[in-house]
Amino acid sequence: MMSPIGRNAKHCAALFDVSISNIAAITKRTELVRAEAQLSETDFDKLKVISELLCVQHHYMSLDTYRMADVADMTETLCIA
């Protein structure tokens, strides 16, 4: 497979251990399960906190205890650490 799309498909098939003809079996859920299996419990907890902070930043959730600048600083600190 010489094209970039073909190489990407071949890489994805190898990564998820499926045949190239069965590449449609790779779903978001498949990737989520694979990614969760590779995370430590500490990293998974950190991602949950980052996710909630991002929801606050985008006004999907509210957090009255902190200012938006504080939320942004916490998010940046967790992403860098």
Residues of the chain scoring pLDDT < 50: none
Instruction: Note whether 80 and 50 are same-domain residues.
Output: yes
The predicted structure's pLDDT at residue 67: 92
Instruction: Note whether 43 and 31 are same-domain residues.
Output: no
Residue 26 burial by Cβ neighbours in a 10 Å radius (0-12, 13-18, 19+): middle
Domain tally, the chain:
2
Query: What is the distance between the alpha carbons of residues 3 and 70, in angstroms, rounded to a whole number?
Result: 46
The predicted structure's pLDDT at residue 56: 93
Report field, pTM of the whole predicted structure over 0.75: no
The predicted structure's pLDDT at residue 50: 94
The predicted structure's pLDDT at residue 1: 61
Instruction: Write out the residue range of the structural domain in which residue 9 sits.
Output: 1-38
Give 53's Cβ-side CA count (13 Å radius). 20
